[in-house]
Amino acid sequence: METPKNSDAETEALQADAMGSDLTRKLIRPRGEKLSRRQREEKLKAERVQEKLLSMPGWRISSDGKGLVKVRVLRDNRTAMAYTAYVNTATEGAGHRAHIILSGPRVFMTLESRARHGGFTESLLDFAKDLG
């Protein structure tokens, strides 16, 4: 079985120090539309979430409907561990919650918003999209 290659962004993320890298700052900082912080944390309607997921290959809504799920298969165990540490650091900095399971080169991720309403927000979807 052929092992998938990492994207340039993944490679950069894995090689950089997660606390100070430019990529980490890009993931933490709001991007795209100029929305206020409050607008970025408002609960999105189901139609808007489904629309955004169409442009996010590999991401889907978790079975409990509370988060976004993705499985990444990386080059090897060491790369998977580095990616897991990076995702954890970036997620905390962005104000979201990550549940991560590492199994060899596979990384199983569930991202959830820490917003009071517990639903999907613009910032959570943008963050997941930036992770790839």
Provide the 8-state DSSP code for 127: H
Q: If you average pLDDT over residues 45-60, what whole number do you get?
A: 93
- pLDDT score, position 74: 96
pLDDT in tens, 57-114: 999 999 998 899 999 999 999 999 999 999 999 998 888 999 999 999 999 999 998 8
With beta carbons less than 8 A apart as the criterion, state whether 8 and 82 touch: no
Percent of the chain with pLDDT over 70: 67
pLDDT at 1: 47
Report the predicted TM-score, pTM, of the whole model to 2 decimal places.
0.68
- The tokens describing 65, both together, are 């409907």
Domains in the chain: ranges and CATH: 8-131 (3.30.1360.20)
Q: Examine the pLDDT at 12 and tell me if it is beyond 60.
A: no
**Could you identify the residue written with the tokens 């139609």?**
47
